[in-house]
Amino acid sequence: MQFLSIASAWFAAALPAIAAMYLLKRTYENKIISSHLLWKRVLQEQEANRPWQKLRSRWLLLLQLLIAIILVLALMEPVLTRPAAPSGHAVLLIDRSASMASILSSANQASSPEPATRLELAIEEAEHWIDLQTSSRPITLVATGAQPEVLANRKTNKEEIIRQLRDIVPFYGKSDQAAALSLADSLLLDDPSGEIVVYTDGRWPDALEANKLKLQASAELNVLDGSEPSHNLSIAYFGIKSSVSSNGKGSGVVTLRNDGGQEISLKLVVYAVTASGERILAAEPLVSIPAEEWESVELSELPEALYYKAQIKQSDDIYLADNTAYQFPAIPRKKQALLITDGNLFLEKALQLAGVQTVKISPDSPAPTDEQANKIDWIVLDGMNERLAADQEWSKLLDSKPVWMIDHPEQADKNAAVPANNRVVTKEHVVTSYLSFADTHIGRLAQPPATDLAWGEPVLSYGGIPAIYAGTYDGKPRLRFTFNFQDTDLPLRPEFPVLIVQAAEWMSGGLQLELGSAIAGQQVDLSLHSDTVKAEWNTVELAASGTSAGQQKSDELEIDAAGLYPAPSIPGLYRLIEKNKENAVVSDRLLAVTTDQAELMNLASSEEKLQLVSDQAAALSDATEAASPDQLSIRKQQLSLQLYAALLLLLVLAAEWEVYRRGISS
């Protein structure tokens, strides 16, 4: 307790004055007299009067002294100072940048059986801070990222805020922490009593920019283990060379970085993953990296694969998301097509120019074995053959693969027709793009029954008769040319190779070049298939765990006319699945997502220290000596006791009146 008006203590001089009144009070002795005639004489006898006497305990004296003491204390303005229970709007800013995903040292997590990250520690401490707040205090929860995200806005329900807090996951892309801090400050412009509470490790690449911000609200900075030295190992680069040796083997290079203070020997494993999902151990070198140095490893004899994976095998690394990297062959694998034909030289050569490896067999040959069929990507059926459709093995194979059918209409065929003119009508499609078929002659076209063409629609008509059908059957691409190349002059024209290339592209499910790599959360320019109406990311593998995610589906992409889409926010390998309006897959490509390199460099060292000073705090520091006690203690709350003193005074006055009324003053 303290007093705001110490000068009022001079009123305590009234206490001895009250006591003196009782000291000087005349007191008379009781006398037994024989007659009242002598009463007047007794009153005049001064020697019987004792003006100075011993101060005896009297009720009225005690009550009056108590009243005087209460009055003096009330005039001195007594107050109780206690920690303030802030009720203003609070903005809780959680740093979820890549460095917050680093694992704490064992010294800092002795109570936890499992390694804990800085983000987990920040969430734990933020929960404790929320529990200490009043139930009516509005709290806004903001998380950093490529753009700051408001997760809860002016909420008073603590359980709801904590639930949102626990759902925060690391963001491995480039974070804009300064923007998040500026947003938090702007949310408090209408509340002078508000405050910003920041939980971070202090490793901000834009710390210099953040320190220059003139914050209007007061800011509390909670740095989580920001001074701990880094011991991070990472794959800085993983590349596959375009040259391929004579035996079909490839080569590559992996660059490793050691941010620790001592030399480390580690095992690097490289896998080659085939299209069928088989994981082949391609290399397993032991690498020694000096302290704070880089080391490159040459890889050779890499087998053909859909993609390659390099991974550091080290248990004491503080940051795991950069221990795994993915890369794709510089030269994509050639598609293999089964060409069933009696002989079509133009078609064979055009397929080779399109980069398609063909396996040519006669229609009279038996169906390939399961092992042979697994290597086949699609089938070209040059000439519809009734025997193949009737054969059980061939029918099973044709139903399991994409099929490109080429009709050979005969002159005697009643379902064949001769076009009346050479007018060409095309529909926008991958197969017919950039083609006009001008002056092309087609002698005869087949007219299959509609029941055989329910899977597709005509994308090119010649003389009013459909010439090319395209679509999907059981989710697999399918084509049908209703004319024989030998009944047309198309193979002699420059458009023929273009037609075969685009047809092969369609049969392969679109352009099958993989998407390469991107930084987590980065905008990626994607060229989607023309028939795509829905696209989504499927998680193949997460880099932090290194285990398969079982095709866990991510958020569906919203089709954008500009072609810019955000990459997934967690490092790993993802598959972009594109589907048409029939919900059939029209394209399937891989994307490797990595951590932002700027965040990794910042994990090693941070020269610029984060220091948040608000205008309110700066003004308070400049005026410390001249400020009154209530201004100096912005974290304290003063409770006045004058009201309680007044109530006590009324009670004492009531007691004094009762003493006087009963005549028990002594």
Examine the domain organization and report whether 43 and 178 are in the same domain.
no
Give the separation between CA 643 and CA 622, rounded to whole angstroms: 35
Place of tokens 């004492």: 652
pLDDT digits (tens, 9 = 90+) for 567-584: 998 899 999 988 888 787
Domain boundary among 507, 542, 557: 507
Nearest to 255 by CA among 268, 238, 271: 238
Q: What is the DSSP pairing of strand 279-283 with strand 264-273?
A: antiparallel
How long, in residues, is the chain? 666
Examine the domain organization and report whether 189 and 303 are in the same domain.
no
Structural domain including 13 reads 2-82+640-662
DSSP per-residue string spanning 393-448: HHHHHHHHS-EEEE----TT-TTEE--SS--EEE-S-TTTTT---TT--B--EE--
Q: Is residue 279 part of a domain?
A: yes
Count of structural domains within the chain: 5
DSSP per-residue string spanning 595-631: --HHHHHHHH---SPP---BHHHHHHHHTTTTS-HHH
Examine the domain organization and report whether 210 and 104 are in the same domain.
yes
pLDDT digits (tens, 9 = 90+) for 361-402: 888 888 888 888 888 888 999 887 677 878 888 888 888 889
Give the separation between CA 319 and CA 232, rounded to whole angstroms: 6
Specify the amino acid at residue 533: V
Contact 123, 94 (CB under 8 A): yes
pLDDT digits (tens, 9 = 90+) for 262-274: 888 999 999 999 8
Q: How confident is the model at residue 131 (pLDDT cuts 50, 70, 90)?
A: very high
pLDDT digits (tens, 9 = 90+) for 151-163: 999 999 999 999 9
Mean local confidence (pLDDT), 115-143: 90
pLDDT of residue 551: 44
Mean local confidence (pLDDT), 113-121: 76
Identify the three-state secondary structure at position 321.
Answer: coil
pLDDT digits (tens, 9 = 90+) for 456-512: 899 999 999 999 999 888 878 899 999 998 889 988 888 898 899 889 888 876 545
Examine the domain organization and report whether 311 and 342 are in the same domain.
no
Contact 495, 439 (CB under 8 A): no
What residues contact 489, with CB distance under 8 A and at least 6 apart? Answer: 440, 441
CA 169, distance to chain mean position in Å, is 5
Backbone angles phi, psi at 551, to 5 degrees: 55, 45
DSSP class of residue 392 equals H
Backbone angles phi, psi at 90, to 5 degrees: -120, 135
Q: Which pair of tokens denotes residue 611?
A: 């220091």
Contact 228, 274 (CB under 8 A): no
Q: Examine the pLDDT at 340 and tell me if it is beyond 50.
A: yes
Q: Is residue 41 part of a domain?
A: yes
Examine the domain organization and report whether 260 and 213 are in the same domain.
no
Give the separation between CA 478 and CA 269, rounded to whole angstroms: 40
Beta bridge partners of 538: 553, 575
Q: Is residue 278 part of a domain?
A: yes
Could you give the residue ranges of the DSSP H alpha helices within 246-326?
none
pLDDT of residue 560: 76
Q: Which pair of tokens denotes residue 478?
A: 């399918």
Nearest to 61 by CA among 660, 661, 662: 660
pLDDT of residue 108: 44
Give the separation between CA 447 and CA 650, rounded to whole angstroms: 111
Examine the domain organization and report whether 491 and 410 are in the same domain.
yes
Q: Examine the pLDDT at 631 and tell me if it is beyond 50.
A: no
Place of tokens 């580690």: 266
Examine the domain organization and report whether 453 and 537 are in the same domain.
no
Examine the domain organization and report whether 63 and 112 are in the same domain.
no
Q: Examine the pLDDT at 133 and tell me if it is beyond 60.
A: yes
Q: Examine the pLDDT at 127 and tell me if it is beyond 90.
A: yes
Domain boundary among 292, 327, 362: 327
What residues contact 554, with CB distance under 8 A and at least 6 apart? Answer: 536, 537, 538, 539, 568, 574
Examine the domain organization and report whether 352 and 493 are in the same domain.
yes
Q: How confident is the model at residue 98 (pLDDT cuts 50, 70, 90)?
A: confident
Across the chain, mean pLDDT equals 79
Please state, in angstroms and as integers, the Cα–Cα distance from residue 48 to each residue in 26, 31, 225, following that order.
10, 10, 87
Examine the domain organization and report whether 484 and 528 are in the same domain.
no
Q: What is the DSSP pairing of strand 307-313 with strand 264-273?
A: antiparallel
Give the separation between CA 48 and CA 29, rounded to whole angstroms: 7
Q: How confident is the model at residue 624 (pLDDT cuts 50, 70, 90)?
A: very low
Examine the domain organization and report whether 374 and 458 are in the same domain.
yes
Examine the domain organization and report whether 396 and 477 are in the same domain.
yes
Please state, in angstroms and as integers, the Cα–Cα distance from residue 186 to each residue in 180, 183, 209, 219, 660, following that order.
10, 5, 16, 13, 66
Mean local confidence (pLDDT), 53-63: 64
Q: Examine the pLDDT at 607 and tell me if it is beyond 60.
A: no
Q: How confident is the model at residue 550 (pLDDT cuts 50, 70, 90)?
A: very low
The domain that contains 340 carries what CATH number? 3.40.50.880
Q: Is residue 277 part of a domain?
A: yes
Q: Which of 50-64, 139-153, 433-447 has the lowest mean pLDDT?
A: 50-64
Q: Is residue 198 part of a domain?
A: yes
Q: Which of 54-68, 463-477, 515-529 has the lowest mean pLDDT?
A: 54-68
Contact 403, 478 (CB under 8 A): yes
Place of tokens 């030295």: 229
Domain boundary among 327, 353, 368: 327
Q: Is residue 601 part of a domain?
A: no
Nearest to 543 by CA among 240, 148, 239, 98: 98
Give the separation between CA 331 and CA 251, rounded to whole angstroms: 12
pLDDT digits (tens, 9 = 90+) for 181-215: 999 999 998 888 889 999 998 888 888 888 888 88
Give the separation between CA 361 and CA 340, rounded to whole angstroms: 5
Mean local confidence (pLDDT), 124-139: 91
Give the separation between CA 11 and CA 651, rounded to whole angstroms: 21
The domain that contains 180 carries what CATH number? 3.40.50.410
Contact 396, 379 (CB under 8 A): no
Q: Is residue 569 part of a domain?
A: yes
Q: Is residue 19 part of a domain?
A: yes
Give the separation between CA 153 and CA 161, rounded to whole angstroms: 9
Residue percentage of the chain with pLDDT more than 90: 21
Backbone angles phi, psi at 636, to 5 degrees: -110, 155
The domain that contains 309 carries what CATH number? 2.60.40.10
pLDDT of residue 213: 85
pLDDT of residue 547: 46
pLDDT of residue 45: 54
Q: Examine the pLDDT at 519 and tell me if it is beyond 70.
A: yes
Contact 198, 217 (CB under 8 A): no
pLDDT of residue 70: 78
Give the separation between CA 94 and CA 121, rounded to whole angstroms: 11
Please state, in angstroms and as integers, the Cα–Cα distance from residue 602 to each residue in 24, 230, 328, 650, following that order.
86, 10, 28, 68
Contact 379, 335 (CB under 8 A): no
Give the separation between CA 177 and CA 452, rounded to whole angstroms: 60
What residues contact 378, with CB distance under 8 A and at least 6 apart? Answer: 335, 337, 338, 401, 402, 403, 404, 477, 507, 508
